[in-house]
Copies of this chain bind each other. A is one copy, B any other.
Amino acid sequence: MAVTGTRRADPASPRTANLAAILRALRAGPLSRTQLAARCGVGKSAVSGLLAELAERGLVRAAGVLPGNGRPSRLVELDGEGAYALALSIEADRLSAVVTDLAGHLLAEHAETVDVAALGLQRCLDELAHLAHRVLPGPPVGVAISVPGLVDSAAAVLRFAPALRWRDAEIAGLMAARLNLPVEAIAVDNEANLGALAESIEGAGSELFYLSGGTAVGGGLVSGGTILRGARGFAGEVGHIAVDPIGERCSCGRTGCLETKANLAAVLRAAAAPGDPLHDPALGVEGRVALLKDRIRRGDQRAVTAVHELGVALGVALSTVVDVLDPEVVVLGGYFAELGDWLVEPVRVELAARPLGHARVVPSELGLRAPLRGAAHLAAERLFANPALFEEASV
């Protein structure tokens, strides 16, 4: 980090870091200079200088006054009119594209149900680029892609996505060509990491573990407000924590891994007999989970028992995660969020049985959309980290 007095944004300078801190703080809504100074740990006079530069760049604007005792203080909010963050997501059965402003407000979205594994990498990315062009009103300031697998985020390479049977897919490079953007404009991250980021930015907590349920089970860690990726970008893997010594054989060769009990198909098998509509892939994840919730509400004992047992299995695995990470809150994401009414309690019971287990347990308020929202925030990050980009883009 270099100390510099220049007013031009040098990506490595503390001034740029302060500009970014202010933009990030404003994501949550309008703030006064005093509030910004407190949130960003910057002197009030410095805040005024930084805001002047951001206003000049068209990234912040006045937003009325905060009525208070004494003289009212003027508020500022994010502007960035024409700054578009593009969030894309690849799920086993669905491709989605979302455009937001810098604050993460939805501007446009489109999704398609497709069998991604059958489509294959190249055609999937063609389709994804097609969706992107369809929703984008103009060139994006940044792009982030949510993928269901292990991502080497430094290299922006998807190392392995079991559900898609993809290995070492250079998604950033392949999409850069399709979107006619520089590769560094495109971030690729694991859906659980992005879900964790979204929940943290949108208020769930700054020390957070996000458990993601879908065709597989994943996890994302946020500490001090930033994603913890570990040495290779694989941190947060909880699918192979043993939860049942006499359980099913797992793809990893072991027995009773969380993955074998908590993946959606396994829970649905426990909840209904073969041939039941609950197993119909055509319904997609949302459709099958909606049907399962309906069964539970109607008191279907088999469905109730299956989901309760899922909660116990999640609790056993999460009690180890809580011991190791000591998060403030555990967020149940993906399809677990949809089943929060029935999962939170058994998870809490398991955590309470541990000597240290004091983390709060909540369902993700963003539900199945959390990874896409996280991707939108990550896409906007590129501009926050270097506000000069917007100027350049809008020249």
**Is A325 part of the binding interface, using a Cβ–Cβ cutoff of 8 Å?**
yes
Please state if A219 and B356 are interface contacts (CB–CB under 8 Å).
no
State whether A326 and B41 are in contact (beta carbons under 8 Å apart), knowing that A17-B1, A46-B2 are contacts in the complex. Answer: no
Residue of A43, A240, A353, A355 with most chain B CB atoms under a 10 A cut-off: A355
Q: Report how far A150 CA is from B240 CA in the complex, Å.
A: 27
Please state if B2 and A240 are interface contacts (CB–CB under 8 Å).
no
Selected contact of A323 from candidates B228, B241, B355, CB within 8 Å: B241
Give per-residue flags for A211-239: 1 if the beta carbon is below 8 A from chain B beta carbons, else 0.
00000000101010000111111111111
State whether A326 and B245 are in contact (beta carbons under 8 Å apart), knowing that A17-B1, A18-B3, A46-B2 are contacts in the complex. Answer: no
Chain B residues whose CB sits within 8 angstroms of the CB of A321 once the complex forms: 324
Give per-residue flags for A1-30: 1 if the beta carbon is below 8 A from chain B beta carbons, else 0.
111010000001011011001000000000
Q: How far is the CB of A173 from chain B (nearest CB, A)?
A: 23
Selected contact of A228 from candidates B41, B228, B354, B356, CB within 8 Å: B228
Number of this chain's copies in the assembly equals 2
State whether A237 and B14 are in contact (beta carbons under 8 Å apart), knowing that A41-B1, A223-B230 are contacts in the complex. Answer: no
State whether A326 and B235 are in contact (beta carbons under 8 Å apart), knowing that A223-B230, A252-B354 are contacts in the complex. Answer: yes
**Is A42 part of the binding interface, using a Cβ–Cβ cutoff of 8 Å?**
yes
Selected contact of A42 from candidates B1, B228, B319, CB within 8 Å: B1
Residue of A17, A18, A219, A324 with most chain B CB atoms under a 10 A cut-off: A324
Please state if B252 and A231 are interface contacts (CB–CB under 8 Å).
no
Interface residues on A, range: 35 or more
Chain B residues whose CB sits within 8 angstroms of the CB of A205 once the complex forms: 231
Please state if A241 and B320 are interface contacts (CB–CB under 8 Å).
yes
**Is A383 part of the binding interface, using a Cβ–Cβ cutoff of 8 Å?**
no
What is the interface of chain A mostly: helix, strand, loop, or mixed?
loop
Give per-residue flags for A23-54: 1 if the beta carbon is below 8 A from chain B beta carbons, else 0.
00000000000000000111100100000000
**Is A83 part of the binding interface, using a Cβ–Cβ cutoff of 8 Å?**
no
Give per-residue flags for A368-393: 1 if the beta carbon is below 8 A from chain B beta carbons, else 0.
00000000000000000000000000
Residue of A14, A46, A354, A358 with most chain B CB atoms under a 10 A cut-off: A14
Selected contact of A232 from candidates B231, B242, B358, CB within 8 Å: B358
**Is A327 part of the binding interface, using a Cβ–Cβ cutoff of 8 Å?**
yes
State whether A327 and B230 are in contact (beta carbons under 8 Å apart), knowing that A1-B18, A2-B46 are contacts in the complex. Answer: yes
Please state if A223 and B228 are interface contacts (CB–CB under 8 Å).
yes
State whether A353 and B253 are in contact (beta carbons under 8 Å apart), knowing that A219-B324, A232-B326, A238-B324 are contacts in the complex. Answer: yes
**Is A88 part of the binding interface, using a Cβ–Cβ cutoff of 8 Å?**
no
**Is A93 part of the binding interface, using a Cβ–Cβ cutoff of 8 Å?**
no
Chain B residues whose CB sits within 8 angstroms of the CB of A43 once the complex forms: 2
Q: Report how far A191 CA is from B167 CA in the complex, Å.
A: 41
Q: Report how far A18 CA is from B4 CA in the complex, Å.
A: 12
Q: How far is the CB of A323 from chain B (nearest CB, A)?
A: 4
**Is A207 part of the binding interface, using a Cβ–Cβ cutoff of 8 Å?**
yes
Selected contact of A324 from candidates B236, B251, B319, CB within 8 Å: B236
Listed by A's residue number, 23 A-B pairs whose Cβ atoms lie within 8 Å are: A1-B14, A1-B21, A3-B14, A14-B17, A150-B356, A207-B230, A219-B324, A231-B326, A231-B327, A231-B328, A231-B359, A232-B358, A234-B326, A235-B325, A235-B326, A236-B324, A237-B323, A237-B324, A237-B326, A237-B356, A241-B323, A245-B245, A321-B324
Ranked 4 nearest A-B pairs via Cβ: A230-B326, A14-B14, A231-B328, A245-B245
